[in-house]
Protein backbone atom coordinates (compact mmCIF):
# COMPACT_ATOMS: atom_id res chain seq x y z
CA UNK A 1 0.00 0.00 0.00
CA UNK A 2 2.81 2.38 0.92
CA UNK A 3 4.62 1.65 -2.35
CA UNK A 4 1.44 2.39 -4.30
CA UNK A 5 1.04 5.67 -2.46
CA UNK A 6 4.64 6.69 -3.18
CA UNK A 7 4.15 5.78 -6.84
CA UNK A 8 1.08 8.04 -7.01
CA UNK A 9 3.01 10.93 -5.41
CA UNK A 10 5.89 10.48 -7.84
CA UNK A 11 3.52 10.27 -10.82
CA UNK A 12 1.66 13.45 -9.88
CA UNK A 13 4.94 15.30 -9.37
CA UNK A 14 6.13 14.28 -12.84
CA UNK A 15 2.85 15.37 -14.42
CA UNK A 16 3.00 18.75 -12.66
CA UNK A 17 6.54 19.29 -13.92
CA UNK A 18 5.48 18.31 -17.45
CA UNK A 19 2.60 20.79 -17.44
CA UNK A 20 4.95 23.53 -16.24
CA UNK A 21 7.45 22.78 -18.96
CA UNK A 22 4.62 22.93 -21.49
CA UNK A 23 3.58 26.32 -20.03
CA UNK A 24 0.20 24.93 -18.88
CA UNK A 25 0.27 26.78 -15.59
CA UNK A 26 -3.46 26.52 -14.88
CA UNK A 27 -3.44 22.73 -15.14
CA UNK A 28 -0.33 22.63 -12.99
CA UNK A 29 -2.19 24.58 -10.26
CA UNK A 30 -5.05 22.08 -10.33
CA UNK A 31 -2.66 19.17 -9.93
CA UNK A 32 -0.82 20.90 -7.10
CA UNK A 33 -4.12 21.29 -5.23
CA UNK A 34 -4.87 17.61 -5.87
CA UNK A 35 -1.43 16.68 -4.55
CA UNK A 36 -2.06 18.65 -1.36
CA UNK A 37 -5.37 16.84 -0.82
CA UNK A 38 -3.64 13.50 -1.30
CA UNK A 39 -0.89 14.41 1.16
CA UNK A 40 -3.42 15.50 3.79
CA UNK A 41 -5.23 12.19 3.37
CA UNK A 42 -1.94 10.31 3.73
CA UNK A 43 -1.16 12.16 6.98
CA UNK A 44 -4.57 11.33 8.42
CA UNK A 45 -4.07 7.66 7.57
CA UNK A 46 -0.61 7.65 9.12
CA UNK A 47 1.37 7.03 5.95
CA UNK A 48 3.39 10.19 6.59
CA UNK A 49 4.08 12.07 9.82
CA UNK A 50 4.23 15.60 8.45
CA UNK A 51 3.34 17.46 5.29
CA UNK A 52 6.19 18.50 2.99
CA UNK A 53 6.64 22.23 2.61
CA UNK A 54 6.85 23.90 -0.78
CA UNK A 55 6.08 27.36 -2.11
CA UNK A 56 3.43 26.99 -4.82
CA UNK A 57 3.80 30.61 -5.99
CA UNK A 58 7.57 30.36 -6.31
CA UNK A 59 7.26 27.03 -8.09
CA UNK A 60 4.87 28.36 -10.73
CA UNK A 61 6.65 31.68 -11.19
CA UNK A 62 9.57 29.84 -12.77
CA UNK A 63 7.46 29.29 -15.85
CA UNK A 64 5.56 31.93 -17.85
CA UNK A 65 1.78 31.91 -17.80
CA UNK A 66 0.58 31.73 -21.39
CA UNK A 67 -2.21 34.06 -22.46
CA UNK A 68 -5.30 32.01 -23.38
CA UNK A 69 -6.12 34.17 -26.41
CA UNK A 70 -4.27 36.16 -29.06
CA UNK A 71 -3.99 39.91 -29.05
CA UNK A 72 -3.82 42.00 -32.20
CA UNK A 73 -0.10 42.41 -31.62
CA UNK A 74 0.32 38.63 -31.41
CA UNK A 75 -1.35 38.19 -34.81
CA UNK A 76 0.90 40.87 -36.32
CA UNK A 77 3.94 39.00 -35.00
CA UNK A 78 2.68 35.70 -36.40
CA UNK A 79 2.05 37.27 -39.81
CA UNK A 80 5.55 38.77 -39.74
CA UNK A 81 6.96 35.35 -38.88
CA UNK A 82 5.02 33.85 -41.79
CA UNK A 83 7.08 36.03 -44.16
CA UNK A 84 10.22 34.25 -42.93
CA UNK A 85 9.11 30.78 -44.01
CA UNK A 86 11.53 28.95 -46.31
CA UNK A 87 9.72 29.44 -49.64
CA UNK A 88 7.09 31.83 -51.05
CA UNK A 89 4.61 28.93 -51.08
CA UNK A 90 5.13 28.25 -47.37
CA UNK A 91 4.96 31.97 -46.61
CA UNK A 92 1.61 32.40 -48.34
CA UNK A 93 0.20 29.24 -46.79
CA UNK A 94 1.21 30.31 -43.28
CA UNK A 95 -0.40 33.72 -43.82
CA UNK A 96 -3.60 32.14 -45.17
CA UNK A 97 -4.05 29.69 -42.28
CA UNK A 98 -3.31 32.38 -39.68
CA UNK A 99 -5.94 34.74 -41.09
CA UNK A 100 -8.46 31.94 -41.67
CA UNK A 101 -8.28 30.56 -38.14
CA UNK A 102 -8.23 33.97 -36.46
CA UNK A 103 -11.14 35.43 -38.40
CA UNK A 104 -13.44 32.39 -38.64
CA UNK A 105 -12.88 30.32 -35.49
CA UNK A 106 -12.65 27.11 -37.52
CA UNK A 107 -11.48 23.90 -35.92
CA UNK A 108 -8.17 22.55 -37.20
CA UNK A 109 -9.90 19.48 -38.65
CA UNK A 110 -12.52 21.63 -40.40
CA UNK A 111 -9.87 23.78 -42.04
CA UNK A 112 -7.83 20.78 -43.19
CA UNK A 113 -10.93 19.14 -44.69
CA UNK A 114 -12.01 22.27 -46.59
CA UNK A 115 -12.10 22.05 -50.37
CA UNK A 116 -12.04 24.73 -53.02
CA UNK A 117 -15.56 23.80 -54.15
CA UNK A 118 -16.85 24.55 -50.63
CA UNK A 119 -16.35 28.28 -51.28
CA UNK A 120 -19.20 30.08 -53.01
CA UNK A 121 -19.49 33.68 -54.17
CA UNK A 122 -22.56 35.85 -53.54
CA UNK A 123 -23.28 39.36 -54.81
CA UNK A 124 -24.78 41.52 -52.06
CA UNK A 125 -25.36 45.23 -52.75
CA UNK A 126 -22.87 45.06 -55.58
CA UNK A 127 -20.11 43.53 -53.44
CA UNK A 128 -18.68 40.04 -53.78
CA UNK A 129 -19.09 38.03 -50.60
CA UNK A 130 -17.27 34.70 -50.36
CA UNK A 131 -18.68 32.04 -48.07
CA UNK A 132 -17.02 28.81 -46.94
CA UNK A 133 -19.35 25.88 -46.28
CA UNK A 134 -17.81 23.97 -43.37
CA UNK A 135 -18.14 20.21 -43.70
CA UNK A 136 -17.52 17.70 -40.94
CA UNK A 137 -18.37 19.94 -38.02
CA UNK A 138 -18.40 18.43 -34.54
CA UNK A 139 -22.19 18.68 -34.36
CA UNK A 140 -22.59 16.75 -37.60
CA UNK A 141 -24.34 19.69 -39.28
CA UNK A 142 -22.61 21.81 -41.94
CA UNK A 143 -22.44 25.56 -41.42
CA UNK A 144 -21.26 28.57 -43.37
CA UNK A 145 -18.67 31.21 -42.49
CA UNK A 146 -18.06 34.46 -44.33
CA UNK A 147 -14.53 35.09 -45.58
CA UNK A 148 -13.29 38.64 -45.26
CA UNK A 149 -11.59 40.37 -48.19
CA UNK A 150 -8.18 39.95 -46.54
CA UNK A 151 -8.75 36.21 -46.16
CA UNK A 152 -9.97 35.83 -49.72
CA UNK A 153 -6.94 37.73 -51.01
CA UNK A 154 -4.60 35.51 -48.96
CA UNK A 155 -6.28 32.35 -50.28
CA UNK A 156 -6.05 33.56 -53.88
CA UNK A 157 -2.38 34.47 -53.54
CA UNK A 158 -1.63 31.04 -52.08
CA UNK A 159 -3.66 29.39 -54.85
CA UNK A 160 -1.83 31.28 -57.57
CA UNK A 161 1.53 30.31 -56.08
CA UNK A 162 0.47 26.65 -56.14
CA UNK A 163 -0.06 26.93 -59.88
CA UNK A 164 3.51 28.11 -60.44
CA UNK A 165 6.39 25.71 -61.25
CA UNK A 166 8.09 24.50 -58.07
CA UNK A 167 11.66 23.43 -57.49
CA UNK A 168 13.21 21.47 -54.62
CA UNK A 169 12.61 18.18 -56.43
CA UNK A 170 8.83 18.45 -56.55
CA UNK A 171 8.90 17.76 -60.31
CA UNK A 172 5.56 19.45 -60.91
CA UNK A 173 4.81 22.28 -63.29
CA UNK A 174 1.94 23.61 -61.20
CA UNK A 175 -1.07 22.51 -59.20
CA UNK A 176 -4.77 23.19 -59.10
CA UNK A 177 -5.80 20.85 -56.25
CA UNK A 178 -9.31 20.32 -54.99
CA UNK A 179 -8.19 20.77 -51.36
CA UNK A 180 -8.07 24.32 -50.02
CA UNK A 181 -4.72 23.68 -48.29
CA UNK A 182 -2.21 21.05 -49.32
CA UNK A 183 0.92 19.58 -47.79
CA UNK A 184 4.27 20.45 -49.34
CA UNK A 185 5.69 17.02 -48.52
CA UNK A 186 4.07 15.52 -51.61
CA UNK A 187 2.94 18.14 -54.09
CA UNK A 188 2.71 15.56 -56.88
CA UNK A 189 -0.38 13.92 -55.37
CA UNK A 190 -1.61 17.19 -53.77
CA UNK A 191 -2.58 15.63 -50.46
CA UNK A 192 -4.56 17.78 -47.98
CA UNK A 193 -2.76 19.51 -45.16
CA UNK A 194 -3.11 17.37 -42.03
CA UNK A 195 -3.92 18.62 -38.54
CA UNK A 196 -0.44 17.55 -37.51
CA UNK A 197 1.01 19.57 -40.38
CA UNK A 198 -1.06 22.58 -39.33
CA UNK A 199 0.32 22.36 -35.80
CA UNK A 200 3.83 22.10 -37.23
CA UNK A 201 3.33 25.38 -39.09
CA UNK A 202 2.47 27.20 -35.87
CA UNK A 203 5.35 25.59 -33.99
CA UNK A 204 7.70 27.11 -36.57
CA UNK A 205 6.01 30.50 -36.30
CA UNK A 206 6.08 30.33 -32.50
CA UNK A 207 9.79 29.57 -32.53
CA UNK A 208 10.44 32.58 -34.73
CA UNK A 209 8.25 35.21 -33.02
CA UNK A 210 8.01 33.79 -29.47
CA UNK A 211 4.19 33.88 -29.45
CA UNK A 212 2.71 30.68 -28.04
CA UNK A 213 0.30 29.45 -30.70
CA UNK A 214 -1.75 26.43 -31.68
CA UNK A 215 -4.88 26.02 -33.84
CA UNK A 216 -7.31 25.81 -30.91
CA UNK A 217 -6.02 29.06 -29.38
CA UNK A 218 -7.37 30.84 -32.48
CA UNK A 219 -10.79 29.32 -31.76
CA UNK A 220 -10.75 30.60 -28.16
CA UNK A 221 -9.69 34.04 -29.41
CA UNK A 222 -12.54 34.13 -31.94
CA UNK A 223 -15.12 33.10 -29.31
CA UNK A 224 -13.86 35.74 -26.87
CA UNK A 225 -13.93 38.48 -29.52
CA UNK A 226 -17.45 37.43 -30.61
CA UNK A 227 -18.79 37.62 -27.05
CA UNK A 228 -17.12 40.98 -26.40
CA UNK A 229 -18.23 42.64 -29.62
CA UNK A 230 -21.42 40.96 -30.81
CA UNK A 231 -22.77 38.74 -28.08
CA UNK A 232 -23.87 41.29 -25.51
CA UNK A 233 -27.55 41.06 -26.31
CA UNK A 234 -29.73 38.00 -25.89
CA UNK A 235 -28.42 34.52 -25.24
CA UNK A 236 -24.70 35.03 -25.53
CA UNK A 237 -23.69 31.41 -25.10
CA UNK A 238 -26.28 30.25 -27.65
CA UNK A 239 -25.12 32.89 -30.16
CA UNK A 240 -21.47 31.95 -29.97
CA UNK A 241 -22.27 28.24 -30.08
CA UNK A 242 -24.32 28.80 -33.23
CA UNK A 243 -21.58 30.90 -34.77
CA UNK A 244 -18.88 28.32 -34.13
CA UNK A 245 -20.86 25.15 -34.73
CA UNK A 246 -20.75 24.09 -31.08
CA UNK A 247 -17.76 23.23 -28.91
- Domain CATH number, residue 84: 1.10.443.10
- For residues 148 and 200, state if they share a domain: yes
> At 171, is the pLDDT very low, low, confident or very high (cuts 50, 70, 90)?
very low
- For residues 77 and 55, state if they share a domain: no
Q: Which parts of the chain fold into alpha helices (H)?
A: 2-21, 25-45, 56-61, 72-82, 88-104, 108-113, 149-162, 195-209, 215-229, 236-244
Lowest mean pLDDT among 41-55, 65-79, 192-206: 41-55
Phi, psi of 245 (to 5 degrees): 75, 30
Q: Quick check: 177 and 190 in contact, CB under 8 A?
A: yes
CA-wise closest residue to 148 among 101, 113, 194: 101
- For residues 22 and 96, state if they share a domain: no
- For residues 189 and 211, state if they share a domain: yes
- For residues 45 and 92, state if they share a domain: no
Average pLDDT for 98-106: 92
- For residues 138 and 76, state if they share a domain: yes
CA-wise closest residue to 131 among 109, 154, 159, 151: 151
Polymer length of the chain = 247
> At 242, is the pLDDT very low, low, confident or very high (cuts 50, 70, 90)?
very low
- For residues 8 and 96, state if they share a domain: no
- Sign of the four-CA dihedral 43, 47, 50, 51: negative
CA-wise closest residue to 29 among 64, 9, 56: 56
Lowest mean pLDDT among 10-14, 36-40, 126-130, 185-189: 10-14
- For residues 150 and 220, state if they share a domain: yes
Q: Quick check: 182 and 113 in contact, CB under 8 A?
A: no
Phi, psi of 83 (to 5 degrees): -70, -10
Query: 220 lies in which domain range?
Result: 72-244
Average pLDDT for 40-60: 69
- For residues 76 and 55, state if they share a domain: no
Global pTM value: 0.67
- Angle of the 72-82 helix axis to the 88-104 helix axis, nearest 10: 160
- Cα–Cα dist 247/244, whole Å: 7
Q: Quick check: 46 and 1 in contact, CB under 8 A?
A: no
Residue 245: what pLDDT?
47
Average pLDDT for 176-187: 74
Report the mean per-residue pLDDT for the chain.
Answer: 76
Q: Quick check: 28 and 20 in contact, CB under 8 A?
A: yes
Amino acid sequence: MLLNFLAIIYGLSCVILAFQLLHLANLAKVLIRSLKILLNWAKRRGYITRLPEFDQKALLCKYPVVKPIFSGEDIDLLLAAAKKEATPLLQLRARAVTLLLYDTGLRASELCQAKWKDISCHIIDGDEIHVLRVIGAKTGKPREVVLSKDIWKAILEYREELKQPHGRGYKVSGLDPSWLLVTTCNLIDSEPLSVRGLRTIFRRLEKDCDVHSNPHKFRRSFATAWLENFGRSGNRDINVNWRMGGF
